[in-house]
Amino acid sequence: MKTTFNLLLLCAGCFFASCGSSSENSQITPHEMATSGQQTASAPESAPPQVYIYAVEVDKLNLREQPSRTAKVVAQFASGDLVEGTGEASSNKEEATLRGIPYFEPYIKVATTAGATASGWAYGGALKPVYAGPTNIKPDLERVRSLSKYLSTLDVKQVENGSKAIGYVSSNFSSASGSLADAAFLLLERFLFRMETEGSLYDMFGTTAWSEQDISDIYENRFNMGKYPVTKKMAENGFMLATGEGMVFPIVDWVKLAEIFENKVTPPMKNYLMENVAERRENGFEDGGITIGLDKLAERAVFWEKFNDQNPYFVGSVETVENERWLTLVLLNGSDNTPAYDFETKAARDDFKNNWNLILQKYPGSALAMNVKALMDVYAANGWKRTPKVEEFLSKFSQTEGE
């Protein structure tokens, strides 16, 4: 019987299946830069950021004296406002539903950046970090605020607003660079992602009858977005197509984002951007199964491990650390439809064992290799069978790494 642990991985696998796109395969391979030591990133920043800048994503966001929904409200923020802090978060988390999406997040200690001075605690689920670093190179707050405010006026349910957002950035940030370009990229991607998840793009398909060839072309990243009026319109507004479980759905076109920002953003952000492009151009998962070589998954895991080591205070570190953790977990455990062991015999599969040995040889000294070696030791001590001891190891790893 499949374990609950595997079922959890199925959910994650379905998420990664949505990374398929309609663009041609890229010749850019950030994995190779990472694994060969040629990753284009600055030296590790040992000092914590002096300031964090956040964009407010909901209207009438309360700023409270203490990190609790029952604490006194000292101010309110409008959608699109900018606030700043030092990265301090509350030890407690609270559930909240924002724009129809449930969150379980801590409060963040922040202060106003314009108008009357006020400081306190704001709910983290309503804040989008757009900068983390030294105060002397933080982006021009007025320009970032102008973009944030403009995006807050656009309805995420109107597909035409995708091209409006892209056009605004292209016109007003064409010469932006460094932290300003980073902030513009993060805000634009976030707006398009909200259109994807909160809007009504999927409804546009209506009764579109996708052929088997369409599904195949979408999965293989060769679908012509100009084929149907609806797909052409989506492409014009910053979206491509993905497929999973026989369904077709729109996702943010990161290739288009790369065209705008690749040569403007900071080196760490460029690495982050181009790795996401590469992973979206080559599907790694489909319907809960692994669809690329395990060695390629290891390359991705090592990329994110090195990225996180080199950029410990990256503005999007919550996501990049999770990328590393989740890929490591898949390499150890497999996914729901590509398990690391045979369901009948409980024996570890040869392809996973071979990949574990490859990881030890190719990435010595990495955290990935350390975790693989620990798992292999447990397996070896249990006759290479998926015993309760192996289950216990993986369960503890999942809980520890996910904290």
In a domain, 31, yes or no: no
In a domain, 297, yes or no: yes
Q: Are 35 and 287 in contact (CB under 8 A)?
A: no
Question: Could you tell me which residues come within 8 angstroms of residue 364 by beta carbon, excluding any fewer than 6 positions away?
Answer: none
Q: What are phi and psi of 206, to 5 degrees?
A: 50, -120
Amino acid at residue number 349: R
What is the distance between the alpha carbons of residues 63 and 73, in angstroms, rounded to a whole number? Answer: 6
Q: pLDDT confidence of 398, banded at 50, 70, 90?
A: confident
261 and 324 assigned to the same domain: no
What per-residue string of b and e applies to 192-224 under the rule 16 or more CB within 10 Å gives b? Answer: bebbbeebebeebbeeeebeeebbebbbebebe
DSSP code, position 220: T
Estimate the crossing angle of helix 350-362 against helix 367-381, to 10 degrees: 140
pLDDT at 13: 38
In a domain, 338, yes or no: yes
Tell me the per-residue pLDDT of 27-55, one tens digit each, with 9 for 90 and over. Answer: 333 444 344 333 443 444 568 999 999 99
Domain boundary among 282, 297, 313: 282
Average pLDDT (346-375) is 98
338 and 269 assigned to the same domain: no
369 and 294 assigned to the same domain: yes
In a domain, 113, yes or no: yes
Which structural domain range is residue 207 located in?
137-282
Count of the separate structural domains present in the chain: 3
Angle at 229 between CA 226 and CA 231, to 5 degrees: 60
In a domain, 27, yes or no: no
pTM: 0.87
Amino acid at residue number 378: V
Q: Are 40 and 266 in contact (CB under 8 A)?
A: no
Domain boundary among 75, 107, 133: 133
391 and 308 assigned to the same domain: yes
In a domain, 240, yes or no: yes
In a domain, 41, yes or no: no
pLDDT at 256: 97
What is the distance between the alpha carbons of residues 146 and 141, in angstroms, rounded to a whole number? Answer: 8
13 and 64 assigned to the same domain: no
In a domain, 206, yes or no: yes
